Structures are given as C-alpha cells and as structure tokens.
Amino acid sequence: MKTNPTQTKTWKTESLHIVFPFGGTLLRALIALGLILFALEGLARIRVTGNLIPVESLGLNHQHFDIKWTKLRQFVQEYGGVDVIIMGSSEVNVGIIPDELVKAIYDHTGQSLRIFNLGTEGFAVNINALIIDSIIKKFHPKLIVIGTEIREFSARTGIETTANISTRPWIRYINGDFNLEGWFIEHSQAFRYFLTYRNWTTIEFIAQHGITLRRLPNIWENGYDPDILISYDYWERPEPSNEDDRVKFEAYRDFEVDPQRLAALNLILMSGTQIVVVEMPVYPTLYDYFGNGYADYETYFSVVSETTLSSGNFFIPSFPIEEIPTNGWSNRTHLNRFGAPVFSSYLGEQLANIIISEGLSIGPNINEGTR
C-alpha cells in the first residue's frame, strides 16, 4: 500500500507545531499589574486615604520623622506651599513654635509666612545634611532655619541613630546611590503606606504603631511638638557619681568640633537655599560635662558662627537664659511649652531683622491671601 506523501508531511507538521500562549499571557499580566499599581497609587494620593492611613513611612525605622514628614506634606497640601522650614534635633522640635515666628515676622515686616517645624528627635547636623537637598527639591522653601547646639558637633553624639539612618535605602537613593526600594519610597506614596503596615502581624509593630497613633494628635499641624514636662533640677550641677551623668562626662570630657560634623554643616550651607543657623538655648550647667567647661562652648560658638557667616548665610546666637521662666525647661537642653514661646518670639524678631536688613521677600504679603 502506498503512502500519500502529502498526507505524511501534513501529519508531521501538525504534530510538531506547538502553540505558546505564554508571551501574550505575560504581557497581559504585566499590563494588568501596571493598571493595579496605577490605581493603588492614585488611591494613595487622595485625601480620604490619608485620613484612613495617617502616617507614611520612609523606611528609616524612625517613627518621629515619619510623623513629621507626613505632617509637612499635609501642611503643604493645606496651605499651598511652605516658605520656611526649621530643621534640627529634639531641641528644635520642642523649642520653636512656628506660629510665634509667623506673628513676630508679620508684625515687623508685613510678610505672612508659612513656617513648618521639621525638628526631629536625634537628627543632628550630620543627618540633616543627608536630607536637606531632598527637602529643598520637594518643598521649595525660600529659607531654612537650622537649630543647633554644642553636643551635635561631637563625634560621640547620636552614633547609633546615624548608623541606623545613613544606610537606609531612601537615604542612599536621595544621595545618589540608586536602589530599587529607595526609588519606590521616593516616588510612590502607595509604597510608603505599605511600609507603614508591612510588619502589621508582629507584636513589635502593634507596640510601635500604638505609640505613633498616640503621638500624632499631639504634634501641631505646623510641626511643633510641645513638651509638657517641667524640670526643677536643671540648675543643679551634674555629679560624676550619678550613672546618667557619668556617661555624659565620658562622652564630652575630650570635646572637639568633629571635622565630619563641620563638613556636614558646610554641605547644608552650600545647599543653594538661604540658611539661618540659630544657636538653641541650653542651661549653663550643661558645660560641666565638658573637659574645658565654658571654653569648649566658646570654641564651638566661634567655629560654627564663623563657618556660617563666611559662607554668606546668617547666624543667630541664643539669648540670655534669664529670659526663660524658671518653669520653662524640661531638662538642661530642652525648653518646654512655657519656655518655647519666649525663645520663639525672640527668634521671630531676629529673623524679621534679617528680612528687613537684607531686603528679603520670603513669602506673600497677608493681603495676597496666604495664611
């Protein structure tokens, strides 16, 4: 029996022909995933979602900065921008009230400014140097106020916080070290919300998030975080026999201005935005911890003020601590809700003097409809 060649060829071709739908399926899956991510991002950016998920996370494992960052974004959304951002550590966080600055500056210049306090616990000058360029690019302030005091120019201050934050993906990304997680944190609000709740099943998350939710309503919309504690022993001399005091004696007895901290200050001063460095008030018994006492303070003051002024920026020294009421301190280095208004009023007047003397126009006049 003869075999039809045509039939044989047809049978072989059909047997070996395999249909691969995989490429089309993958493409459709990627398109669907993109649409889902786009929808999630859009949902994350509406105000209703912000009310349901009150805090974004930048993955720094720092609850206080997450709150301050979220409050700053909300402030800018509410008022259409920000004219002045105040940066620094916990002394700034509790010691400067933006509303007092707004009032003093308006009274003296007629300019009504939108001012936000981004002071964050543990954020010394070296950490603020890592984030200032990102802050400027995102929020476009015309003036940045940096609050500082002697301890943050010691290499022994904030070692753990610096090590924790400086290696985080977002910090690396905004400082030129590209990484995918840092890119998503920078550009995706949905991803920042995800970071807030990614460990929601852990006991640690429940405890930490509970603290965040309790702190959130106590921080004003302009970032001021009032300290309600009152100290009645801040004027007493520290004792080396006291364990807490002993640690501080050891940390500051060989004080010198750390070159890396000074380099961080220079980075801030060269940011391209007008900078005002302000010396935060501390009670003089603080200098007992330092090996050379008040002479170490004079070294710090001289170096920081001269570095700031030589860069073409402004330096505001602190004022006589006698101006602070006796119940105005929560410890030797932090003002409370009774001390902060006094210092803030002084700082507002000093900023107003700079605005007048330099002919600066930082924000719109109140008649133009802002704040």
- Residue 47 identity: R
- Report residue 328 as tokens: 């105005």
- Report residue 303 as tokens: 């170096």
Dihedral over Cα of 77, 79, 85, 91: its sign: negative
Contact 356, 100 (CB under 8 A): no
Three-state DSSP class for residue 116: strand
* pLDDT tens digit at each of 371 positions of the chain: 555 555 555 555 555 555 555 556 666 565 554 544 445 445 545 544 445 567 899 999 899 999 999 999 999 999 999 999 999 999 999 999 999 999 999 999 999 999 999 999 999 999 999 999 999 999 999 999 999 999 999 999 988 899 899 999 999 999 999 999 999 999 998 899 889 888 766 777 777 777 888 889 999 999 999 999 999 999 999 999 999 899 999 999 999 999 999 999 999 999 999 999 999 999 999 999 999 999 999 999 999 999 999 999 999 999 999 999 999 999 999 999 999 999 999 999 999 999 999 998 887 544 443 33
Q: How many helices (H) and strands (E) does the chain have?
A: 16, 5
pTM of the predicted model, to two decimals? 0.86
The distance from CA 124 to its chain's CA centroid, rounded to whole angstroms, is 10
C-alpha dihedral over 182, 186, 189, 195, to 10 degrees? Answer: 30
Eight-state DSSP code of residue 303: H
Q: Is 351 exposed, middle or buried, given 0-12, 13-18 or 19+ CB atoms closer than 10 A?
A: buried
C-alpha dihedral over 138, 155, 208, 97, to 10 degrees? Answer: -60
Three-state DSSP class for residue 165: helix
Contact 69, 170 (CB under 8 A): no
Contact 290, 157 (CB under 8 A): no
Contacts of 208 (CB under 8 A, 6+ apart): 63
Domains and CATH numbers, the chain: 80-158+198-362 (3.40.50.1110)
